[in-house]
Amino acid sequence: MEKQKITRANSSSLRAKRRRKKRILRRIVIVTYYSLWVLFFALIIYFGSSFIRSHFFDSSDSISAESKIIMYKGNNNTLDTSPTTHKSDSSTKAKLEENKDPALKQKITDDGKLIVCIDAGHGGNDKGCNTKKRNEKTDTLKVALEVKKYLSQKDVKVILTRSSDKYLSLEERVKIAKKNKCDYFVSIHRNCGAGSGFETWHYSTPTKEAESLSQNVHNNIVKYGVSKDRGVKGGTQEDPTTDYYVLRNTTMPSCLVELGFLNQYRDNLYFDEKYKDYAQAIGDAILDTYKQYHK
Ligand SMILES: [Zn+2]
């Protein structure tokens, strides 16, 4: 009798052990099952978003607004680390104002041609804004060459700061414009970072003619179509009282265009379809400004 009781007790504890094992096993299976689903969805979200980014936003290596400003100002030794504010440097300001006086600066070559300096931003090892698929330096050169082609047909002498993929410091660009006694200076760039659309920059305290040049260039380009009109602005992205190097140091009416964001799919569609139109728009704006002030 006693023996029977022991056997029964043993077999019931064995059954309990088996049930416990089964329960644990079932839990492991359930946890594994749901974990696999979670992993599956995580992978879908990860690969889906990178697909969308690379195909629609092209921002796999998008650049912050801060580094964008540095790019405007060039790389390494050309980096303009201390943009002079007008408040802190009144003598420079007075000098620049004087130099930017159109009556003093507007000179025509001996053969009577208007001289225009077109500055293709970046070049050589300075790619400017870039993604896996494109570089700002290539796009800016494309537009600069087209502006030259267009304005040369209009009997304008066009000086390009660079006509090939070569590196030029910002100082060299300014020097070229001054040495050739250019009547206008237009710097061509493309934007990067968060945002989209087209914008034009002028000197923080522009002359009327420089302001008109910026406005004319801007309006003409907008007429051809842009993804978004970000307006005409003075100063820099970070501070309206500081200036981009080439605008601060050139002495003729000048402006800088940002032809859409290079890391935005739609902006690139606009650029690729319309860059020749944009070049023509810049050329016409220069001629219009000249007529407005000098004829
Ligand atoms: Zn640039």
Report domain extents, the chain.
Answer: 1-56, 72-294
Report pLDDT for 4: 65
- Examine the pLDDT at 173 and tell me if it is beyond 90: yes
C-alpha closest to that of 215 among 197, 196, 234: 234
Q: pLDDT band at residue 7, thresholds of 50, 70 and 90?
A: low
Report pLDDT for 59: 41
CATH of region 72-294, choose from 3.40.47.10, 3.40.50.300, 3.30.930.10, 3.40.630.40: 3.40.630.40
- Examine the pLDDT at 91 and tell me if it is beyond 90: no
Q: How far is the CA of 214 from the centre of ligand 1 (A)?
A: 17
Report pLDDT for 50: 58
pTM exceeds 0.75 for this model: no
Q: What share of the chain in percent tops pLDDT 90?
A: 62
Q: What is the mean pLDDT of residues 161-165?
A: 98
The residue from 146, 199, 211, 258 that is catalytic is 258
Report pLDDT for 73: 38
Q: How far is the CA of 209 from the centre of ligand 1 (A)?
A: 24
Return phi, psi of residue 46, to 5°: -65, -55
Q: Is 258 one of the catalytic residues?
A: yes
Q: How far is the CA of 188 from the centre of ligand 1 (A)?
A: 7
Q: pLDDT band at residue 53, thresholds of 50, 70 and 90?
A: low
- Residues whose Cβ atom is located within 5 A of ion ligand 1: 121, 128, 189
Cα–Cα distance measured from residue 292 to residue 285, given in angstroms and rounded to the nearest whole number: 10
Q: How far is the CA of 42 from the centre of ligand 1 (A)?
A: 37
Contact status, residue 186 vs residue 119, Cβ threshold 8 Å: yes
